[in-house]
Amino acid sequence: MADIDEPRAGLASGLITTAHEIGAALGVALVSTVALRDSGIVDGYGNGTIAAAIVAGVLALAAVLTVPTYRPTTARHVALH
């Protein structure tokens, strides 16, 4: 968000929030699908957790390889939450 100009900051923030919410919904759907596919509910949720961990690992690797490592040159106030 530090490199986004002010007129587009609201749009960028909305897109980030939407992607966050969709990602969470897809994660719950993945775990539930894998868990309910098996006959045993306890074993099913174990398999769902393993599937979620694998997906999280793959996405973390993709983030490390694709997200740029530079910092913005402007020293604006950054609000963290």
The one-character DSSP state at 74 is: S
Our CA angle for 46, 52, 57, nearest 5°, is: 130
pLDDT per position as a tens digit, 23-44: 999 988 888 888 887 666 677 8
pLDDT per position as a tens digit, 15-24: 999 999 999 9
In whole angstroms, what is the distance from residue 24 CA to residue 29 CA? 9
The one-character DSSP state at 75 is: -
pTM of the model: 0.60
